[in-house]
Structure 1
Amino acid sequence: MRYPDVIKATFLSRPNRFVAQVEVEGKVTVAHVKNTGRCRELLVPGAAVFLQQHHNPSRKTPFSLIAVQKGELLINMDSQAPNQVWDEALADGLYIPELGVADTIHREVTWGHSRLDFLVECGKRSAYMEVKGVTLEENRVVRFPDAPTERGVKHLHTLMEINQSGGMAYVVFIVQMEGAQYFTPNADMHPAFAQTLREASEQGVKILAYECHVEPDGLKVTKPVPIRLLEKNNI
């Protein structure tokens, strides 16, 4: 996926979860933060950030903050990007373990009273998928979530119900950076999510993690990331 009209800026502060103060070419302005997570380890004063410039006079903010430089890592932090790049990867013929290559991709599908991100059909097989974006990193270990997510726990229970009913179910973690050593659930931040993810795996829900090639104006799924479900999170 590509973002048009991307410029570099400096992060100053985050008055609330939706807005960042940034400096662009010596002038202080505001940008919409396309991620409502905490992102405290990313959005630190003085950090280099990348903004998509909008040319819509009716917008409240002229820019959207889409990526941040963290040391040597460039991290995409657009919470809407993981679903789009996963859709593109499936459409480009990415092989999914135990499922195959997608023939048909459906977005925003319902199962019972829940809504999931994808229903993917591969020949006579099909699978429901829920996608989560990962931006939290320490020493090349990536974790999810960066804040408690009851919604995430609910999604895992829905995937387990699908599996118990005889269907196939996947949770896909899109790591919005390169060079991850492995993915592990953030048990210190949300123990219930980590425990439910382990239960989902034990019951047959498939867990995948993929890293991305990140550019200031683009994002693309590249390769799988190893998964460790039992590691203690020390963040």
Structure 2
Amino acid sequence: MYKNIFKGHFLKRINRFLALVEIDGKIENVHIKNTSRCDEIFIPGAICYLEKSSNPNRKTKYTLISAEKNGMIINLDSQIPNKVIYDAIVEGKILSNLNPVDVKREVSYKSSRFDIAFYSQSEKKKYFLEVKGVSLEENGIAAFPGAPTTRGKKHLDELVDAVGEGYGAVVVFLIQLETASLLVPNYNMDKDFSRALIRAKENNVLLKAYNSIVTKDSIKINKEVPISFEEKYRDNFRI
């Protein structure tokens, strides 16, 4: 999935898209494909893995794709979950009960552009699907979002609208690590998104979450995990 991988040590995050990493004894500016805060991962000295670009004209030679936390590799590429979920649908690994056909990526509906759309042969209707990558985890519990997301709330609201107009709607959370066994909304990070997620569930938007098997150069879907809206997680999850 990834090629030309180098190991580095994280030094400092400069902004949302740029960090300093030591690679083979040299300090490099590297690109980050993740706008979440990742404060619990991006700590000085953390081991990380980077893909070196083959484009000699690129401003940053490397892209940070994963990092270790407590010996566990977490994929941090926010662009890869869409591909992983698309492939899993096409290969019949998930949502097989809906018998999806005509699976497409990047499909417009109203003012949103959803990650995936398909036709359900089982339910005889079109589905819109939004993918959310998750990298925030504590003690086996994953949480989303890792940063406030007005765009994410807008997607949820328009999926609810789509259901009201007779379409099907799904949100799939891909947890980009293996050890998480539960997903919860991150109320403390974004109450508006969390409330919108509850509203989506109450309005028949299908919610699914899966963890992943991650190596330094790959990620693949693993097991489905439950999503909990229990109030105890609103105060206990404070990363």
TM-score normalised to the size of structure 2?
Answer: 0.94
Q: How does 1:40-189 map to 2 (within 5 A)?
A: 40-96=39-95, 99-100=98-99, 102-123=100-121, 124-189=124-189
Q: Specify the alignment match of 1:209 in structure 2.
A: 209
Amino acid at match of 1:64: T
Please give the secondary structure, in 2, of the residue aligned with 1:192. helix
Using the alignment, how far apart are the partners of 1:17 and 1:225 within structure 2? 29
Separation (CA, whole Å) in 1 of partners of 2:226 and 2:111: 32
Percent identical pairs in the alignment equals: 41
CA contact (8 A) 1:20 1:31 kept: yes
In 1, Cα distance between the equivalents of 2:66 and 2:149?
22
Q: Distance in 1 between matches of 2:143 and 2:110?
A: 29
Where does structure 2 lack aligned partners over 5 or more consecutive residues?
Answer: none
CA distance in 1, matches of 2:111, 2:134: 26
- Cα drift, residue 91 of structure 1: 1.7
Superposed CA deviations along residues 116-138 of structure 1, whole A, max 9, x for unmatched, are 11102232343100010000001
CA contact (8 A) 1:99 1:125 kept: no
2:234 corresponds to which residue?
232
Counterparts of 1:233 and 1:184, CA distance in 2: 12
Offset at residue 98 of structure 1 (A) = 5.1
- Structure 2: which amino acid aligns with 1:40? D
Runs of 4+ off more than 3 Å: none
Contact residue 39 and residue 146 of structure 1 kept, 8 A? yes
1 CA distance for matches of 2:5 and 2:71? 20
Q: In 2, Cα distance between the equivalents of 1:122 and 1:203?
A: 19
2:9 alignment counterpart: 10
Q: Is the 8 A contact 1:184 1:229 kept in 2?
A: yes
Displacement of 1:199 in angstroms is 0.9
Shift of 1:15: 1.2
The answer to whether the 8 A contact 2:181-2:211 is kept is: no
1:63 partner amino acid: Y
Residue aligned with 1:37, SS: coil
Q: How many residues align?
A: 233
**Preserved contact between residue 186 and residue 233 of structure 1 (Cα < 8 Å):** no
Residues 77-101 of structure 1 deviation map (CA, whole Å, 9 limit, x = unaligned): 000011011111112112317523x
The SS at the match of 2:234 is: coil
Question: Does the CA contact (< 8 Å) of 2:12 and 2:43 recur in 1?
Answer: yes
Deviations 1:202-231 (A, max 9, x none): 111100001111010001111101110233
Q: Could you say what secondary structure the match of 2:83 adopts? A: helix
Work out the CA distance in 2 between the residues paired with 1:209 and 1:16. Answer: 29
Query: Is structure 2 residue 18 aligned with structure 1 residue 19?
Result: yes
Q: TM-score, normalised by structure 1?
A: 0.95
State the shift of 1:56 in Å: 1.1
Q: Report the alpha carbon displacement of residue 233 of structure 1 after superposing the two structures with TM.
A: 4.4
For residues 131 and 168 of structure 2, what CA distance do their matches in structure 1 show? Answer: 15
